[in-house]
Structure 1
Amino acid sequence: MLHGRLLGGLAARALEERYAQPGLHVARLTVDLFRNSPLLPVTVETTLVRDGRRIRVADAIISTDQGVIGRASAVLLREGEQPAGGQTLVTPVWDEPAPDGPPVQGEGWRPPFDLWWTTGRGTSGPGRVWVRETHPLVTDEPVTPLVRVALAADFASPLSNMGAEGRLGFINADYTLTLARLPAGELIGLEATGHLSGSGVATGQVTLHDTEGPIGFCTVTAVANAVGLGGR
């Protein structure tokens, strides 16, 4: 099947290409994954929902010739003067240095991107990883900062929903990415900062970083994925 992270990346690419402008960037991207996509050509159709002076909203439908497989919604906000004074709550810069060596490839699944686990997989407490794209999403086209973080955001589900034995018992139905700013550089850091589940339904949260500091958050909803049950 076509991995869900690619669908989110393609939606982000189309929405950014058609609606973003200098000083007007995607601050929120929600991607709904309806079902697994076969390995078929994907079409992304976009619609402008609202176009205001400071807020622009657009939707995208993701489909193959077998039907709709997902959708996305983006909120673009115009940059302006930062309000004076401080905040009562500020997300701190994390203390994970950028990786200085090659990614460690363990046995089993090998991701199609560079991945550095900075905490033990399945260990208790907040999981942390650095990721870096190694391939273009579209041939001969550079990966933009938004597309880079949209691709990385899909990893919020396994990171926040990982079981204590390193097994993933939930499969995400969506993800919502919120950004105070676009990432700088190729490295995206993710830190699991929340998980709740009950009766086979879960929600998870991660904080996103680049090498300069925190940039946003990603939340996911997920459903129990028992062995032998496939699809969404």
Structure 2
Amino acid sequence: MSTDRTTGLDHDTPASYRRLGPGHYAPTVHTQGAWRDDEQHMAPVSGLLAHEIDLHEPREGLLLARLSFDILGVIPARPSRVEVRTTRPGRTIELVEATMTVDDRAVVRAHAWRLAAHDSTPVAGVELEPIPGPDDLPAWAGTDTWEGGFIAGLEFRADPARRPGRTRTWIRARHPLVDGELVSPTADLVRLADTANGIAVRVSPKEWMFPNVDLTVHLLREPVRGWVGFDTRVSMGPTGLGLTSTTLHDEQGPVGRAEQILTVRRMPPPR
């Protein structure tokens, strides 16, 4: 197995993670962050937590309706453990908590509401605007803006009318999330949701820092596997706070919303 001499990341495994044991994973170069090459990008981390939540006490008829993630600090690109527990059990509504630790330090904590599926077809309706499909938009190289192994492993289609703070973009991953494992369509979508903050940047990431400290995904149905669409707006206030707001799509139409709060500050001068 070949590894990066600087970060120690596995370059051979054709997935974001290699399972080491129950809840124990080794990140590969396909998780490498965009701000630092020795950290994991939050996008595959959130997908991995969603996958572990799916595996925790599964019950037919319960759907993931909301996942919220709090990012507790830099996520080192080293072996990670995920622990999951049910904090609010219920027959039709339950709340599950998942925590990722690296070197015995909690780095991300997630909370997920699982709700019972019911037939609501007679009242179904969506007030979220559709966007052009992936076949209707040209390819875009995300590596023009960002570096890192995670971004390099993505395929993009972007609206030519995109501008700072506003875009409509489709994304799909070239690699599976966990080597040798099939994850749910929901985890497959969630693993890309955090990229929203990097596809409609208002300012150059070489001049300003604007990392998100959280991610919340609300879903109105189970997504279908494939391209994930982003209808994204980025707003920044005058006192160092920002907000990235996204309508999420699959190839059948709008499927939910994602929100990320940002801490906005000037990039420190090089030492």
TM superposition score normalised by structure 1:
0.86
Distance between the aligned counterparts of 1:120 and 1:44, measured in 2? 40
1:6-155 paired onto structure 2 within 5 Å: 6-82=44-120, 84-85=122-123, 90-94=127-131, 96-99=132-135, 103-105=139-141, 107=144, 109=146, 111=151, 112-120=153-161, 123=163, 126-155=166-195
1:163 aligns with 2:202: yes
Distance between the aligned counterparts of 1:127 and 1:218, measured in 2? 14
1:209 aligns with 2:211: no
SS at structure 1 position matched to 2:56 = helix
Q: Give, in angstroms, the shift of residue 70 of structure 1.
A: 1.2
Q: Give, in angstroms, the shift of residue 207 of structure 1.
A: 0.0
8 Å CA contact 1:99–1:130 kept in 2: the answer is: no
Q: Give, in angstroms, the shift of residue 81 of structure 1.
A: 2.2
Q: Give, in angstroms, the shift of residue 6 of structure 1.
A: 1.9
Q: How many pairs align?
A: 225
8 Å CA contact 1:171–1:225 kept in 2: the answer is: no
Q: Give, in angstroms, the shift of residue 23 of structure 1.
A: 2.1
8 Å CA contact 1:176–1:218 kept in 2: the answer is: yes
Q: Give, in angstroms, the shift of residue 50 of structure 1.
A: 1.2
Q: Give, in angstroms, the shift of residue 84 of structure 1.
A: 4.2
Single out whichever of 102-111 and 53-62 deviates more from structure 2: 102-111
Q: Which runs of 5 or more structure 2 residues have no equivalent in the other structure? A: 1-38
Percentage of identical aligned residues: 26
Aligned to 2:33: none
Letter in 2 for 1:187: W
> What do residues 124-150 of structure 1 show as CA deviations (whole Å, max 9, x unaligned)?
563111011111221111232111111
SS at structure 1 position matched to 2:54 = helix
8 Å CA contact 1:193–1:207 kept in 2: the answer is: no
SS at structure 2 position matched to 1:11 = helix
SS at structure 1 position matched to 2:267 = coil
> What do residues 19-75 of structure 1 show as CA deviations (whole Å, max 9, x unaligned)?
443321110000111111222110000110112122111001110115111100000
Q: Give, in angstroms, the shift of residue 86 of structure 1.
A: 6.6
Distance between the aligned counterparts of 2:106 and 2:41, measured in 1? 15
8 Å CA contact 1:31–1:174 kept in 2: the answer is: yes
Distance 1:196 1:84, change over 3 A: farther
TM superposition score normalised by structure 2:
0.74
Q: Which of these residues, 217, 230, 244, is aligned with residue 177 of structure 1?
A: 217
Q: Root-mean-square deviation (CA), in Å?
A: 2.6
Q: Give, in angstroms, the shift of residue 194 of structure 1.
A: 5.8
SS at structure 1 position matched to 2:166 = coil
8 Å CA contact 2:138–2:160 kept in 1: the answer is: no
Letter in 1 for 2:117: E
